[in-house]
Structure 1
Amino acid sequence: MSLYHRIVARQVRTAFARISAGDWEAMVAGMAPSFTYRFYGEHALGGERRTHEALRRWWERCFRLLPGTKFDVHDVIVSGWPWNTQVATAVTVHVNVVDGSTYENVVHQFLRIRWGKITEVRTLEDTAVLERTLDRLAAAGYEEAHAEPIVA
């Protein structure tokens, strides 16, 4: 692994640590002016965002529904060079959900970075596990758990 790849891997791990500490804004700031952020699934957290404002609203929703989200990063695989870097991650997410239950899932994420800015994020986790949690939240009165996806 080149020095560049090690630096990128460390930055990705740091980004997950910052989000785990509640600072998702740093991740939004790392997005390029033109980007695609896709979270797979047909649910309140699914959909595709292409603006910083929509991404901020999405993170706000995530932390309202799944406060205190913590990420345990297992793998960060980096390839390419500064003008076209690809990153693949394997992460476990742990959450104390607002209804008092716990949520744990495996997340796989693919990122594309150009000259230090993220241009693409594709996130996939076990949607059945996530949807069960969102259904439970909606049944407990958290209507946002069944809201339309934030897209823009």
Structure 2
Amino acid sequence: MGLYHRIVARQVRNAFTQISAGNWEAMVAGMAPSFTYRFYGDHALGGERRTHDALRRWWERCFRLLPGTQFEVQDVLVAGRPWNTQVATAVTVHVNVVDGSTYENVVHQFLRIKWGKITEVRTLEDTAVLQRTLDRLAAAGYPEAHAEPIVG
């Protein structure tokens, strides 16, 4: 399974490169017809999405609040077979925030992939660091930073 795992790891790294270039739609297209995408935390980017439409709206919000987000992949660990692949990532996120500040955090993500389509994503980053950034944005006149999570 070594070759398969290397291919999956390369695809995951490429997905982060695509998102850093503003092409999050490629990631949405990689989702299975039935999936869960959970971003932990009680904030504007938190919640769970189960539809492609909700996931698109979430990515749109992410890039409105944190435009030009850049992902620097640290680790990609792959296990399993094509019908039940697990991927764990550690990624540093760098952003020049719209209020002029900078945002940096480490994102840990767990993915489950079945036959090339993502069925589950669980994302966790330091929510205190993220919440401080969202609070600053809301105070600077970006009310969406305190909006209810996009779910659905």
Q: Please report the TM-score for the alignment, with normalisation by the length of structure 1.
A: 0.99
The residue aligned with 1:145 is: 145
Please, which runs of 5 or more residues in structure 2 have no aligned partner? Answer: none
The residue aligned with 2:30 is: 30
- Say if 2:13 is the partner of 1:13: yes
- Cα distance, 1:15 vs structure 2: 0.1
Q: Name the aligned partner's letter for residue 51 of structure 1.
A: T
Secondary structure of the residue aligned to 2:41 is coil
The residue aligned with 1:121 is: 121
Q: Name the aligned partner's letter for residue 10 of structure 2.
A: R
- Cα distance, 1:25 vs structure 2: 0.1
The residue aligned with 1:43 is: 43
The residue aligned with 1:55 is: 55
The residue aligned with 1:2 is: 2
Q: Distance in 2 between matches of 1:74 and 1:101?
A: 24
Secondary structure of the residue aligned to 1:77 is strand
After TM superposition, the structure 1 = structure 2 runs for residues 84-95 of structure 1, keeping only pairs within 5 Å, are 84-95=84-95
The residue aligned with 1:76 is: 76
Q: Name the aligned partner's letter for residue 73 of structure 2.
A: V
- Cα distance, 1:10 vs structure 2: 0.1
Please, which runs of 5 or more residues in structure 1 have no aligned partner? Answer: none
Secondary structure of the residue aligned to 1:132 is helix
After TM superposition, the structure 1 = structure 2 runs for residues 127-138 of structure 1, keeping only pairs within 5 Å, are 127-138=127-138
| Deviation by residue 1:58-90 (Cα, 9 ceiling, x = unmatched) | 000000000000000000000000000000000
- Cα distance, 1:93 vs structure 2: 0.1
Q: Name the aligned partner's letter for residue 102 of structure 2.
A: T
Secondary structure of the residue aligned to 1:44 is coil
Name the % identity. 89
Q: Please report the TM-score for the alignment, with normalisation by the length of structure 2.
A: 0.99
The residue aligned with 2:109 is: 109
Please, what is the CA RMSD of the aligned residues?
0.6
Q: Which consecutive aligned stretches of 4+ in structure 1 deviate over 3 angstroms post-superposition?
A: none
- Cα distance, 1:28 vs structure 2: 0.1
In the alignment of these two chains, the number of paired residues is: 152
Q: Distance in 2 between matches of 1:8 and 1:43?
A: 31
Q: Name the aligned partner's letter for residue 146 of structure 1.
A: H
